[in-house]
Amino acid sequence: MKKNTISENFGRYRFEFKHLTVLLIILVAFQIILSIIQKTSLENFLDKTQNWYQRDSAERMANLNTTSLELLVENINISIENSEESKKKIIQSFNIIFSQQLLEPNVKQTCLIILKDNIPYIINDGKIFHDFLNHKTAELSPVNNEFKIAADLFLKHKQELMKEEEIFSLLDEEQTFHILVPFVPHGEFIGVFYMKNKPNFKFITEEILSSYDEVAIIYTSLIVLGLLAMYYISSYTVRERDEAKTLFYEEREEHLKDQIDHNKEAMFTKRIYHTQHKAEKVMGFIKEDLRHLTTENISSSKDKLNKYANFISRVIYDMKWYDPPIHTIRNPIFSTNINEVIRFIIDNLFLRISKSTNVFSFKLELDEKLPNVKINEFVVWEILEPLMQNSIDHSKVKNVVITVTTKYDEQTKTSLIEIKDNGIGIKEELLELSEEGIKKIFTESVSTNDEKTNRGYGCYIAHQMATKRCLWIIDAENLKEGGAKFSLVIKN
């Protein structure tokens, strides 16, 4: 049971090529980072070890030379030399000690720094040192530029060297050791032996790091080869699944296209059915006006019948398209007076119904400064008429008063249309936002009337025409004093 559960949970996760690629990149990147960190740590360790060993070997070499020089001085008696030959041998011994270490590739300078009358003197010649031991100081050389660093270092640490009589070494930025060894023949401090040593063990570090790089490259290559093999095998494993998934998606895409087309046709059919009764009502008005046509009213009836006919023509035209071309809705050639459209709809549509006086009435507050809009007047008709009709249908009170107001703000160049009533208002749930971010009263198949049959398209069509095609702003709300209000904002 547990195994089945684990298998089911694991089966919910689908690994694609991109997942394996990311896994490959992450593992290789981690291995490279780990190799760099380990190499850096090893290099630091080698540097510290080599620095310690270099310092120790340099100090031992300088100490050995100083000890040899001290022993040589202590084991000869300068004052009782019997021959010139003996003197030459002593000077030669001194020169060997001064110069022999310079044969080492790492040793750059050696000398004795003698302190006499608190003035340092440099001795790196056997004859001068021999004369110094015989108290002949005339040939002592002052400090020159070649040994200035050594003399400055001695003077800086003179007190410490005289007091401690211990080896002092300094490593500069050029990885060079400056070593001062106290020179104490016969137990008397007379100066220091200086050695400038620049040991180089870089070849050892390079050899070790090179070997480590080879191991890291081999190890990383093995990991990469293993992951590539896994990648290659996985590609065959998921290929059939991907092919099946592709076929499934193609089939699903075709199904969705068919479903979308079906939904469009269904919605289109409902929209036609919704406007059918309006067209039938207008046709009835046309027939009635034609029956009562006389020579006296022919002039006044002409424009009215023309507008009725154009409205019917517009309805028929809309039956040809899911989405009519935008130039048939918004166009610079149009110049529609919204106030006139409002008056025509009210006078020649709503107030022509005989029972209107007992059910509803209209109150107009129209601003004559309202500018014309570049919208087809029958599109404006399709927007305003459903909103007025909705105010009548949902009010559920006797003697409904519908107030239609237009205003124009010259500063912001904004036109406002308001349609208010004194009914019971709109249900609160219809004023909530839908998933699309619009109020539910403006969504498809939602009605403010309890009778749902063939209803729920008036506000939806008005919203679609106003926002999608005319670029107006439409809203609905309840009034504090009771009733509902629809508002349209037009940016001129």
* CATH number of the domain within which 172 lies: 3.30.450
Q: Is 409 helix (H, G, I), strand (E, B) or coil?
A: strand
Domain count within the chain: 2
According to DSSP, residue 346 is labeled I
CB of 309 within 8 A of CB of 286? yes
371 or 399, which is more confident: 371
Asked, for residue 456, whether it belongs to a domain, the answer is yes
- In whole angstroms, give the CA distance from residue 172 to residue 174: 5
Asked, for residue 206, whether it belongs to a domain, the answer is no
Asked, for residue 225, whether it belongs to a domain, the answer is no
Q: What is the pLDDT averaged over residues 124-149? A: 71
Tens digits of per-residue pLDDT, 188-237? 777 888 888 776 666 666 677 677 777 777 777 777 777 777 777 767 66
In sequence order, what are the beta bridge partners of 488?
417, 474
330 and 479 assigned to the same domain: yes
User: Mutual orientation of helices 298-318 and 202-291 as an angle, nearest 10°?
Assistant: 140
Residue 419: per-residue pLDDT: 95
Res. 257 pLDDT band, cuts 50 70 90: confident
Asked, for residue 273, whether it belongs to a domain, the answer is no
Domain that holds residue 355: 323-491
Q: Of the residues 144, 170, 200, which one is the last residue of a structural domain? A: 200
Asked, for residue 133, whether it belongs to a domain, the answer is yes
Q: Of the residues 151, 182, 200, which one is the last residue of a structural domain? A: 200
What values do phi and psi take at 410, rounded to 5? -70, -30
Asked, for residue 144, whether it belongs to a domain, the answer is yes
195 and 339 assigned to the same domain: no
With CA atoms as reference, report the closest residue to 267 among 463, 461, 468, 469.
Answer: 461
* CATH number of the domain within which 343 lies: 3.30.565.10
Q: Which residues of 117-128 are buried (b: 16+ CB within 10 A; e: fewer)?
A: eeebbbbbbbbb
Asked, for residue 356, whether it belongs to a domain, the answer is yes
Tens digits of per-residue pLDDT, 447-469? 555 544 445 577 888 888 899 88
Most confidently predicted of 74-83, 365-374, 389-398: 365-374
Asked, for residue 72, whether it belongs to a domain, the answer is yes
- The region of weakest confidence among 5-19, 130-144, 152-166, 377-391 is 5-19
The verdict on pTM exceeding 0.85 is no
Q: Of the residues 172, 200, 228, which one is the last residue of a structural domain? A: 200
Tens digits of per-residue pLDDT, 138-170? 566 677 777 778 788 888 877 777 777 777 877
Residue 292: per-residue pLDDT: 80
What values do phi and psi take at 407, rounded to 5? -140, 150
